[in-house]
Amino acid sequence: MVTHLTHWGAFEADSDGTRLTAVRPWRGDPEPTPLIENVASAQHHPARIDQPYVRKGWLEHGPGPAARGDDTFVPVSWDTALDLLAGELARVYREFGPQAVYGGSYGWASAGRFHHAQSQVHRFLNGLGGYVSHRNSYSLGVSQVLLPHVLADMGTLMARSTTKSVLARHSELIVSFGGLSPKNSAVSPGGVSRHNTRGWIETAQENGCRFVTISPLRDDIPAQANAEWIAPRPGSDAALMLALAQVLDSEGLADNDFLDTHAVGYPRFAQYLRGEVDGVVKDPEWAEQLTGIAAQRIRELARDMAAHRTLITVSWSLQRARYGEQPLWLGVVLAAMLGQIGLPGGGFGHGYGSAANVGLAVRVSSPPRLPQGENGVDDFIPVARIADMLLNPGAPYEYNGEHRVYPDIRMVYWAGGNPFHHHQNLARLRSAFARPDTVVVHDPFWSATARHADIVLPSTMTIERDDYGAGEGDRFFFPMPALTAPHAEARDDYWMFGELAERLGFGKEFTEGRTASEWLRHLYDEWRQGLAEKGHELPDFEAFWSGAALELPIEAEEHIAFADFRADPAAHPLSTPSGRIEIFSETIAGFGYDDCPGHPVWLEPEEWLGSARAAAFPIQLVANQPRTKLHSQLDIGAHSQSTKVEGREPVRLHPDEAAARGLHTGDIVRIFNDRGSCLAGLLVDDAVRPGVAQLSTGAWYDPDPRDASFCRHGNPNAVTADRGSSRLSQGCTGQLSLVEIERYTDPVPELTVSGPPSIERV
């Protein structure tokens, strides 16, 4: 029996050396997740890549723009693949320079610290001179840009959020915009040792805390919360929050002393609330017309918030939408108006229920990881703008006050991750992937990204290599010895890059003369010595490697966010330009963006149930994260497959909407708009607000060969819009789209994603 760590939890496994024979939750996890069932069933699945491949068209005609995604692949030896790839890397860097290479690799490919695909590919490309990189993430693209201007950077917010045990004891009311989703709380970058979402919420409820969940989905919060469900029209949260703020302002419930001493810009924002700017008072009656929530209930909630120790928490989902800056900023504003920031159980939270690493004790040190070196290229893009970059080289765009230009990319190098999961409007992304000269992908599986590559190198899964791992902020550090031999000819990314670096003349610089095993020991010993100098003694490498999970030292068991700032804002200022909470930001106002002005406002999105577009597409599609996998990882695994409907991803629809369309549970339906369409299996469910359909992301993109905008498997990004949240953040807006749904009456097409693409063996 050996313990292993994944992004969704730790498990204990038995192995015969080739495959896992038994998988059980780690005994230290009080709330294990069934996602671990995907690992063993996926390892030797037919969709696994068995050896290197080269796209036939690239092999025959050489590098250049090409329609990718439907071509035949030719198997080649490792030497042939690496020789071809080394030659192409040399050509691109020689003729176009490092600014013509995009080092993508956005994703959660590895829970390990050394065999972390992003670190490996970036270290390798830096050795060649650098690459065009990305900023921020699809999950937090808005937050990572906005919040440093108005409160704190996301690293600080996640690492130093009030610990959940403090909330469980002290919170009297938790108002959760976007819910406290148990499925999202099951995952964390790098792994989760002990899941505890149900536990802390149940304890809080037993201590008298009341929960209000504001979401189109009733089950976006554990049943243990016994929560009141408020379901505004999706996309109207900012209007609801403005009305709550207006009640606090007009009824004298705002903490003006706190606003005077700890915030800047409230008077200018209050003028907007009161209608002094545009003649529109942002009161509950105004908000009722936009949100569908009764004005009286809005008033009652505002008064309730002011009367109790209240946490205002905003899930990551709200900022993954058009104008996502506004509800996020308003969450900060509401917490500041209540004056409870820095108090136990009150204030502002961002990410409770969005990932497992929010609300943990603060570690003394993060575990070791592979150094990546220095990138010789300054150019970057916001991560969700990859299709814009590939399609529009040289085009101008704005980002966080900067006027930027998209680079001309000739090579995309992707190791870890699956942009054909994360990105929006997949038909457009497919067109974008046709433009580079060469696309290179390392992947264990024939994902959609691998199918759109020219050179495909099969990488190992975490269970097939030695590593160690710890989740972001998690206090347990796991040795992760390989559980099985690699599948077929799969190899570690480190081995591949070492071989390429040797061919390109910098092998010694890349490896520093160390094998993977030697790197593990070296990095651990360096890290252990650093902690010893701080007074924390840890076991030597042999003891760690042969033992169980290592518990890391922490600063304290509990932490209250911004307590020092509350006690003395002069001595402990925030990292914002003013050192205080910025309800009005002079910096953002100076950018001159009409889609993100200097304080939060109501901006009507193009796609919501109150827009003219809803006449043609009257259902608001919520494309949230899945319950049975992390993003698209191991979608072919047993647990993920167990919830499919005739092999398609399930879509949930309110009974009234289903009845109006003559639909029933189990029907195969077509979800469509003027961007594309996808098939899904229908589940009729009153936990979904009327007017809303919920289709999780993560189904592997399976386009019809005659129409790339039609996904036969159920990927909602066939219909989502590829547009930025605003010129400020250029964040992802994939959460909400308008669609129509109908029964699919044609013969249901076969899926192609459960096996390899067309292969020509010579």
Q: Which residues are catalytic?
A: 106, 108
Closest of 273, 368, 342, 358 to residue 602, by C-alpha:
273
The neighbouring-strand residues paired with 402 are: 399
Count of CB atoms within 10 A of residue 723's CB? 18
What is the per-residue burial (b if ≥16 Cβ within 10 Å, else e) of 28-46? ebebbbebbbbbbbbbebe
Taking the C-alpha atoms of residue 310 and residue 151, their distance in angstroms, rounded to an integer, is 18
Residue 38 CA to residue 53 CA, distance in Å, equals 26
Cβ-count burial of 19 within 10 angstroms (0-12 exposed, 13-18 middle, 19+ buried)? Answer: middle
Q: Which is it for strands 650-653 and 347-350: parallel, antiparallel or unpaired? A: unpaired
Cα separation, 475 vs 188, in Å, equals 13
Identify whether the C-beta of residue 400 lies closer than 8 Å to the C-beta of residue 699: no
Residue type at position 88: E
Maximum CA extent, the chain: 79
- DSSP secondary structure of 671-687: EE-SS-EEEEEEEE-TT
- Label residues 351-383 b or e (16+ Cβ within 10 Å = b): bbbbbbbbbbbbbeeebbbbebeebebebbbbb
Q: Report helix, strand and coil shares of the chain as percent, to nearest 5.
A: 35, 20, 50
Distance (Å, whole) CA 483 – CA 2: 7
Beta bridge partners of 680: 669
* Residue 534 backbone dihedrals phi, psi, to 5 degrees: -95, 5
Q: Backbone phi, then psi, for 275, in 5-degree steps?
A: 85, 10
The amino acid occupying position 214 is: I
HSE value, Cβ hemisphere, 13 Å, CA-based, for 238: 22
Strand-pair partners of 672: 677, 740
Supply the DSSP symbol for 502: H
Residue 162 φ/ψ, nearest 5 degrees: -55, 130
Q: For residue 541, what is the DSSP state?
A: H
The sign of the CA dihedral 430, 432, 434, 438 is negative
